[in-house]
Amino acid sequence: MQGYIYPNEFELRWSLLIVLYPYLTGLVAGAFILASLARVFNVKEVEPTYRLALLTALAFLIVAPLPLLAHLGHPERSYEIFLTPNRKSAMAMFGFVYAWYLMVVLLLEIWFDYRRDFVLRAREATGPRKWFYYALTLGSTDISDRALGFDDKAGRWITIIGIPSAFLLHGYVGFIFGSVKANPWWSSVLMPVVFLFSAIVSGIALVLIIYIVATLFRGKKVDMGCADKLATFLFYAMVVDFSLEMLDFIHRLYESEESIEILSQLIEGRLFVSLIVLQVVLGTLVPLIWLGVVSPALSWRGTRKVPAEVRRLIYLGCALLVQVGIFSIRWNVVIGEQLFSKSLRGLTVYKAELLGVEGLLMAGAFVILPFIILWLLVKIMPPWVENELPAPPEA
């Protein structure tokens, strides 16, 4: 502790779990927007990751609200958010945005996309597996060309609705923080936009990681056309994201409001490692430079010609660094906000505990859980191109 803080600021009310919540939600929105590149914008190169991105979004969306729930003082009353929401509360409305996204966008799109597979698997399989896949078809087993054409059209429309929905989902998370006028570190109109673009960055990087690692583990060849395209989009998204963050930073510095002094102390001291070192240097500048040099973002063959194996490794390293950077952004927003007093006269410290509901182990579990769910989803609904089921013989 340093200077003067209010008594209620000694202990941080929002801890590691609340850092995870915008991080996980951002991955969902980002992965979905990546999927929409293939579906709506017809970027052919990223098609190998289309289904994978959708499943990734679903796996992370299922887990995203869990840290919030675990953090509540009375989780058993959480249903009140849906039953008697305060319509003026940003947080209450998030419940509905989340539900809309899960039910209307993601589940429907995945269902329309996989319905043909479900039907074919139900026909092939025997025993409980047959019934399981039959249940997944929801009884809709028509896979004539006309029915599949409808599926395709419906999926396309849902994606078109889904893009603004994904923007809404994570922009809204940014709004939950950015609309708190009591806190000068949060209160910024740019917050939802910065959140959105950092979400896109994190989502693309995540799918890139999962795609490369999963492909290597499956003993297949990484489609370098796809990896190059992902790296290119990652680079572009990072440029926009970093520009926005710099704009926010310069704007604050130039306006130099009452809070500037304590915020400078915060950045130079408490947040130096997580903001300057992890977020800006390791999480943004280093991957930006590598991607700029290696990927075809700036010139179509890459500024330097690098063999595919090395390029793949560099992409993987960059994507991992980006994850560290984005996690640091969430950390700096959520934890950074609470490290300085609203009296603007002092700083406090945060020490994450190891055990307990808000501890490191619990947080680690919430990060691993989506990967387990994703693994299950991939087992049930293989997203790989070579797993595509052949058309059934004509009857």
Partner 1 sequence: MIRSDGEVVVDSPNGGIEGFPPIAEEGGTLRTFFVPKLCNHCEEAPCVQVCPVGATFITDDGAVLVDEEYCIGCGYCVQACPYGARWFDPEKHVARKCTFCYHRLAKGKVPACVEVCPTSARLFGEVGHRANPLARFLRFNEIQVLKPHLNTKPKVFYANLDGEVR
Task: Look at residue 346 and give its three-state secondary structure.
Answer: strand
* DSSP, res 340: B
CB-hemisphere CA count at 13 Å for 46?
A: 28
Q: Which of 125, 183, 248, 359 lies at the binding interface for partner 1 (CB under 8 A)?
A: 183
Task: Look at residue 335 and give its three-state secondary structure.
Answer: helix
- Pairwise CA distance, residues 246 & 254, whole Å: 12
Q: Does 126 interact with partner 1 (rule: CB under 8 A)?
A: no
Q: Is 359 exposed, middle or buried (0-12, 13-18, 19+ CB in 10 A)?
A: middle
Contact 66, 365 (CB under 8 A): no
Of 25-33, 43-51, 64-72, 213-221, the segment contacting partner 1 by CB under 8 A is 64-72
Q: Does 78 interact with partner 1 (rule: CB under 8 A)?
A: yes
Contact 324, 282 (CB under 8 A): yes
Q: Does 307 interact with partner 1 (rule: CB under 8 A)?
A: no
By rule CB under 8 A, what count of residues binds partner 1? 41
Q: Which of 41, 44, 77, 124 lies at the binding interface for partner 1 (CB under 8 A)?
A: 77
Smallest gap from residue 330 Cβ to partner 1 (A): 15
Q: Does 89 interact with partner 1 (rule: CB under 8 A)?
A: yes
- Pairwise CA distance, residues 83 & 81, whole Å: 6
Q: Does 116 interact with partner 1 (rule: CB under 8 A)?
A: no
Q: Does 72 interact with partner 1 (rule: CB under 8 A)?
A: yes
Nearer to partner 1, 26 or 346 (CB): 346
Q: Does 95 interact with partner 1 (rule: CB under 8 A)?
A: yes
Structure-block tokens of residue 23: 């991080």
DSSP-assigned beta bridge partners for residue 2: 347
Q: Which of 88, 221, 301, 379 lies at the binding interface for partner 1 (CB under 8 A)?
A: 88
Q: Does 96 interact with partner 1 (rule: CB under 8 A)?
A: no
Binding to partner 1 in span 14-33, by CB under 8 A: 14
Structure-block tokens of residue 348: 């406090």
Report which residue type is found at 207.
V
Nearer to partner 1, 70 or 244 (CB): 70
Q: Which residues bind partner 1 (CB under 8 A)?
A: 3-4, 6-9, 11, 13-14, 68, 71-75, 77-78, 80-81, 84-86, 88-92, 95, 180-183, 258, 337-338, 341-346
